[in-house]
Structures are given as C-alpha cells and as structure tokens.
Amino acid sequence: MCLAVPGRVMEIEERDGTRMAVVDFGGVVKDVCLEYLPDLAVGEYAIVHVGFALQRLDEESALKTLELFAELGLLQEEFGDPLEVER
C-alpha cells in the first residue's frame, strides 16, 4: 500500500536546483521534494505521497492522522522497521 502521510518539515535546502526538505513522519525521517508547495516552511506539516509534499496540513489534523495510522499499523506497513533496514 502506498499512503499519503502527514509529516513535519524539519529542514529545508536547495539541492541541484530543487527545493527539498527533511520531514519527520512520527519518528521516521525522509527526504521530500517541496516543488509543489514552494512556500512551505520549517515547522509546518504537509501531506506527502511518493516523496512529494502535496498539501499543507494543520498540526492538529496531522498529529491525529499519524496517531491513527500508528494504531492501525499503517506507518509500520508504509515505512517498515528502520532498524531492519540498517541490518
């Protein structure tokens, strides 16, 4: 399954002419392209799908969604166990 998951922007930088961010998805951190949301700022939340931030989201909605996804095991399904990836 490939979910659109809310995440919080931790850092923003330009890489090879593309606006990119480090985004925290409830403890899982990934690189995300911000080209569809060029005015997104550090600390804001966005819905991310296949590595692209698609829509700004308020913090309350983002946290509720992340909590629900975690309860349903969907974050584990989407991102896997980060410790297993390192092994």
Q: What is the CA radius of gyration of the chain?
A: 13
The residue type found at 37 is L
What are 2-59's pLDDT values in tens digits? 678 899 999 999 999 999 999 998 888 999 999 999 999 999 999 999 999 999 999 9
* Structural domain containing residue 64: 5-86
Domains held by the chain: number: 1
pLDDT bucket at 84, cuts 50 / 70 / 90 = very low
- Provide the whole-model pTM: 0.79
CA distances from 11 to 18, 24, 27, 33, 44 (A): 14, 10, 15, 12, 10
- Write the CATH number for 29: 2.30.30.140
83 or 77, greater pLDDT: 77
Q: Which two tokens stand for residue 9?
A: 């922007």
Lowest mean pLDDT among 21-25, 41-45, 60-64, 78-82: 78-82
Q: What is the pLDDT of residue 41?
A: 97
pLDDT at residue 87 is higher than 50: no
